[in-house]
Structure 1
Amino acid sequence: MSALDGSIVIISLPAIFRGIHLDPLDPANIGYLLWMIMGYRLVQAVLVVTLGRFGDMFGRVRVYNAGFAVFTVASILLSFDPFMGAAGAIWLIGWRVLQATGGSMLTANSAAILTDAFPAEKRGFALGFNQVAALAGQFIGLIAGGLLAVWDWRAVFWVNVPVGIFGTIWAYRKLRDDGVRQRGRIDWWGNATFALGLSGILVAITMGLQPHDGQTTGWHNPAVIGLLITGVLLLVVFVVIESAVAEPMIQLSLFKIRAFSAGNAATLCASLAQGGLQFVLIIWLQGIWLPLHGYDYADTPLWAGIFLLPLTAGFLVAGPLAGALSDRFGARGLSTAGMLLFGATFIGLLALPVDFPYWAFAALIALNGIGSGMFAAPNTSSIMGSVPTDQRGVASGMRATFLNSGTALSIGVFFSLMIVGLASSLPSALTQGLTQQGVPDATAHQVASLPPVSTMFAAVLGENPLEHLLAPSGVLQTLPAANRDTIIGHEFFPDLISAPFHHGLTVVFIASALLALLAAAASLSRGRATRPSAPDLLVRPRD
């Protein structure tokens, strides 16, 4: 449910913004659009360590159960947005923060609860299913969002309510807390510096994607630079605090455990390689490939989710199987091989033309999913099995922080690379293409001055920005029918952005392949599996 809501909103954004009467392609509204996407991930990245620590102190099941209730209440409030325009967007962004808090309570403690409940020889299989649930939620969200948004944009949030009510009641009735408690005081200074430092970096990345002072991105913005520097300094202060206080938020000594530190390094590199992939593939399909193959822009969000199903299928097959095999043969070999396969698929995607044969694309993303599945469950099992039992909540939260932070960083970096690639050639291509179709020079230049980030989001949202921008001026009605049909047709805009988009793809896929290689090297360095510690072997009695 938590993972589903990270993606279902992406596909539903056109319907949501139409529902609150806000133009998503207006440059003034780009900030709302970005925060609808990135705000959820930012909160999850920042809070999971703290909430994992709370699980260690007060009970992992107790925090997990509360997460269901918080998530459900937030979903109800999101669906009853009473405002329109900018105020309606702020309402949604604000309650998405609460929803992400509930989701963080779930994700921060789920791996720790499973690690407590299963013996070491079955842990990988259990965590494999947990990983499958998370990834399946992401891609089910893409399809469910496309279907539900056609009916009513509020249904995107209603879908969580029955699941949340059932989950809340079921969890309180059935889950038992078998973990070891570590009572103590809360490290408020550590929590504050960690949350503010990581928030500063992730907020700066989100702001960096927005145009500023006539530039295509905001990376030169003094506020962005200041937030990045402040965020890094606060994280340095956090490390100093954690090494000095008696009861720290994070036991830095955990990083002396090779399996823990290597596993988290591999998680960060893998999530950096993978986090922006979903968006890049969606843009590729929705903005170029599907329109070139005759699909209407309004239908491309749903079909993009369907055409990405091989990626989900690969993970669904490999995740539990790899988890079960890691119980017998250890995590190092499987997770390393998974990352090597994962990286190889980026080289394969790099070799595809922009207008690819679907069978080749489907085969490569299926192998990408298999590689991710081979890595995720064994790596998680290795991390969680390497720490003392009373530190599993915070260890689970730290693993989720590396995962979510890598995803957010990846989206920011990948989007920036794509925006820079588009900005170098798209304005001139747009101006030339439109004037050739009879659009007046002044209007063509005005359309070409649209920030490239708006073009990117037009593809994500399944919009033809040319029709959207030219319609209010009345220029389309003055053109010959053949020229008008060409401009608003399926091929004109995709052809214009194909070359700059492919240049951006090249940079992104090479970076992802290198990051996957680093993740494989980190995974290989974790060392051989060791027998679980004595407390791991104890079976705690149930009520």
Structure 2
Amino acid sequence: MAVFMSSLDGSIVLISLPAIFRGIHLDPLAPSNIAFLLWMIMGYRLVQSVLVVAVGKFGDMYGRVRIYNAGFLVFTIASVLLSFDPFRGGTAALWLIGWRLLQAFGGSMLTANSQAILTDAFPKERRGFALGINQVAGLAGMFIGLTAGGLLAAWDWRSVFWVNVPVGIVGTLWAYFMLRDNGERHPSRMDWWGNGTFAVGLSAVLVAITFGLQPYGGHAMGWTNPWVLAGLIGGVLLLAAFVGIELRVTDPMFELRLFKIRAFAFGNITRFGGSLAQGGLQFMLVIWLQGIWLPLHGYSYASTPLWAGILMLPLTCGFLVSGPLSGALSDRFGARLFATGGMVLFGLSFVGLIFLPVDFPYWLFAALLALNGIGMGMYSAPNSAAIMSAVPARYRGVASGMRATFQNSGTSLSIGVFFSLMISGLAATLPHTMTAGLAAHGVPQAIAEKIGGLPPVSSLFAAMLGTNPVQYLLESYHVLAGLPAHAQAVLTGHTFFPNLISGPFHDGLVVVFAVSAGISLVSAAASAFRGTGVAVDSEKTVLPAASTTPEKENA
């Protein structure tokens, strides 16, 4: 219930963004509003990446079920508050972003401890199956949210937040009365310096990536912004200081000694690589479907969010089939075969997507999505089971948090990298193509140049938000009504903007999918070095002693 609710919320908000922007009266093409869109998408990931290890450590110290139950409560309260947005415009967006950050805090408490609780509850020969079911629930929530978001948003944008409330109430009560904490507790001192440097350093990097995607000083993106550069450099330096601190303290927040366990180290390396390859995929597919393929096939921009969710269901189906099956089989035969083979299939699906034309036959697109889901399903549950079974029982909370940090950080970094590649490709060709296309249909040259000179990210996100950017901009400049009827029909139709953007967009997709394929195959090679993959008796595993004594630390 917890992972279903948490992942449902992330995807239901993504697909409902068009209705949310319309509901709070926020202009999707205003460059100043790009930040609101990015924070609605990435703010949740940022908070989870930063906090998930800390709340996993709290679970080891104070009880995993106690922290988990508190996460259900916080998540539900934030869902209620999100639906009562009393404002309009930018203020309304800030309200939503603020409560989404609180919601992410609750989600961190859930995701950091759920796998640790399952590992405590199941014997090692059944953990792959249990974690497979758990991860299937998470992915099912993600892609059911894509469909449900389109349906609910058509009724009322606030309803996309209401859907979590009954699940949260039932889950909070059920967890409080039914869950029993049978894990070990190990009270320890709080690692304040470690927590501080990690939180500030990782936040600085992820915030800098978010602002780096926004236009700055006449550039299509903000990577030359001094604040972005300061955030990236300062964040990396703080994370380096964090590693030094964690190697010296007695009770570290991030238990680096766990990386001396081979299955844990290679499992997290491949998890980060898989998230880096996959993280931007969902957004690229949504933009591809909503901005190009669906309009080319006669769908109105207003209906594209719902149909994009429906057309991506083969990805869910592939994961739903392979996840529990590979988890159960890995309990018997070990994780390496399934995790490595799954990552290879995952990478091959990206190779297939590279050669897919922009206006693809749907059956081939669906087959590649299904292959992608099967590969990730084969990989995810065995890999998580291998990670959690390899660590000593007392470290399961922090180990689960570390695994989630690698996953969330990889996803956030992936979104930044993939959007940057796409926007830079569009910036090289789209302004000239847009200007020439508009002028050829009677738009005054000065207006055509103004529209063509707008940041490409605005047009990209406008299509993602279910808006025809050409029609919207021509109306805002008050030139549409003065054009001949034929020109109006062409410019505001379903095919002008998709045909305009399809060439540059496809060039960007080739680069994005090639990078994903390369990362996936490297991750598959790393997975092959994890060892036999047979679960060890983690209750008997003893970590090497810390590098310093309490007396040295206090001194």
After TM superposition, the score normalised by the length of structure 1 is 0.98
Structure 2 residue corresponding to 1:73, chosen from 74, 77, 81: 77
Name the residue aligned to 1:335.
339
| Alignment of structure 1 residues 140-159 onto 2, 5 Å | 140-159=144-163
Name the residue aligned to 1:541.
none
Contact 2:391 2:538 in 1 (8 A): no
Residue type matched to 2:227 in 1?
A
Name the residue aligned to 1:29.
33
Residue type matched to 2:171 in 1?
G
Contact 1:120 1:536 in 2 (8 A): no
Q: Which runs of 5+ in 1 are unaligned?
A: 538-543
Query: 1:418-441: per-residue Cα shift (whole Å, max 9, x none)?
Result: 001111111111111111111110
Name the residue aligned to 2:293.
289
Name the residue aligned to 2:551.
none
Query: 1:241-288: per-residue Cα shift (whole Å, max 9, x none)?
Result: 111111111221100001000000000000000000000111111111
Name the residue aligned to 2:544.
none
SS at match of 2:476: coil
Contact 2:386 2:535 in 1 (8 A): no
> Structure 1 residues 429 and 380 mapped into 2: Cα distance closer, same or farther (>3 Å)?
same
Structure 1 residue corresponding to 2:389, chosen from 378, 385, 391: 385
Q: Work out whether 1:83 is the aligned partner of 2:87.
A: yes
Q: Work out whether 1:361 is the aligned partner of 2:365.
A: yes
| Alignment of structure 1 residues 271-282 onto 2, 5 Å | 271-282=275-286
Which deviates the most, 254-263 or 464-473?
A: 464-473
Query: 1:366-425: per-residue Cα shift (whole Å, max 9, x none)?
Result: 000000000000000000000000000000000000000000000000001000111111
Name the residue aligned to 2:504.
500
Contact 2:112 2:404 in 1 (8 A): yes
Which deviates the most, 4-13 or 491-500?
A: 4-13
Structure 2 residue corresponding to 1:269, chosen from 259, 270, 273: 273
SS at match of 1:11: helix
Structure 1 residue 345, shift from structure 2 partner:
0.8
Q: Work out whether 1:479 is the aligned partner of 2:479.
A: no
Structure 2 residue corresponding to 1:47, chosen from 51, 60, 78: 51
Contact 2:390 2:538 in 1 (8 A): no
| Mapped partners of 1:530, 1:276: distance in 2 | 32
| Alignment of structure 1 residues 348-427 onto 2, 5 Å | 348-427=352-431
Name the residue aligned to 1:96.
100
| Mapped partners of 1:310, 1:131: distance in 2 | 17
Name the residue aligned to 1:223.
227
Structure 1 residue 531, shift from structure 2 partner:
5.1
| Alignment of structure 1 residues 10-25 onto 2, 5 Å | 10-25=14-29
| Mapped partners of 2:518, 2:538: distance in 1 | 39
SS at match of 1:247: coil
Name the residue aligned to 2:549.
none
SS at match of 2:457: helix
| Mapped partners of 1:523, 1:24: distance in 2 | 42
Structure 2 residue corresponding to 1:344, chosen from 326, 344, 348: 348
Structure 1 residue 535, shift from structure 2 partner:
3.0
Structure 1 residue 201, shift from structure 2 partner:
0.6
Contact 1:289 1:355 in 2 (8 A): yes
Structure 1 residue 481, shift from structure 2 partner:
1.1
Runs of 4 or more, structure 1, over 4 Å off, are: none
Contact 1:271 1:410 in 2 (8 A): yes
Structure 1 residue 347, shift from structure 2 partner:
0.9
Structure 1 residue 97, shift from structure 2 partner:
0.5
Contact 2:208 2:231 in 1 (8 A): yes
Structure 1 residue 474, shift from structure 2 partner:
2.2
| Mapped partners of 1:6, 1:187: distance in 2 | 30
| Mapped partners of 2:539, 2:53: distance in 1 | 23
Query: 1:417-474: per-residue Cα shift (whole Å, max 9, x none)?
Result: 0001111111111111111111110111111112111111112112110111111222
Structure 1 residue corresponding to 2:236, chosen from 232, 237, 262: 232
Query: 1:163-211: per-residue Cα shift (whole Å, max 9, x none)?
Result: 0000000001111111111111111111111111111110010010000
Name the residue aligned to 2:463.
459
| Mapped partners of 1:121, 1:459: distance in 2 | 48
Aligned pair count reads 537
Contact 2:13 2:149 in 1 (8 A): yes
Q: Which runs of 5+ in 2 are unaligned?
A: 542-555
SS at match of 2:385: helix
Which deviates the most, 458-467 or 387-396?
A: 458-467
> Structure 1 residues 437 and 384 mapped into 2: Cα distance closer, same or farther (>3 Å)?
same
Name the residue aligned to 2:545.
none
| Mapped partners of 1:347, 1:532: distance in 2 | 35
> Structure 1 residues 469 and 534 mapped into 2: Cα distance closer, same or farther (>3 Å)?
closer
Query: 1:64-85: per-residue Cα shift (whole Å, max 9, x none)?
Result: 1110100000011111111111
| Mapped partners of 2:7, 2:412: distance in 1 | 14
Structure 1 residue 530, shift from structure 2 partner:
4.4
Q: Work out whether 1:4 is the aligned partner of 2:8.
A: yes
| Mapped partners of 2:538, 2:330: distance in 1 | 20
Contact 2:51 2:105 in 1 (8 A): yes
Q: Work out whether 1:250 is the aligned partner of 2:254.
A: yes
Contact 2:203 2:235 in 1 (8 A): yes
Structure 1 residue corresponding to 2:330, chosen from 309, 326, 329: 326
| Mapped partners of 1:252, 1:442: distance in 2 | 59
Contact 1:119 1:536 in 2 (8 A): no
Query: 1:478-507: per-residue Cα shift (whole Å, max 9, x none)?
Result: 111111010011110000001100110110
SS at match of 2:49: helix
Which deviates the most, 18-27 or 318-327?
A: 18-27
Structure 1 residue 533, shift from structure 2 partner:
2.1
SS at match of 1:62: helix
Identity %: 68
Contact 2:334 2:535 in 1 (8 A): no
| Mapped partners of 1:460, 1:21: distance in 2 | 16
| Mapped partners of 1:239, 1:86: distance in 2 | 38
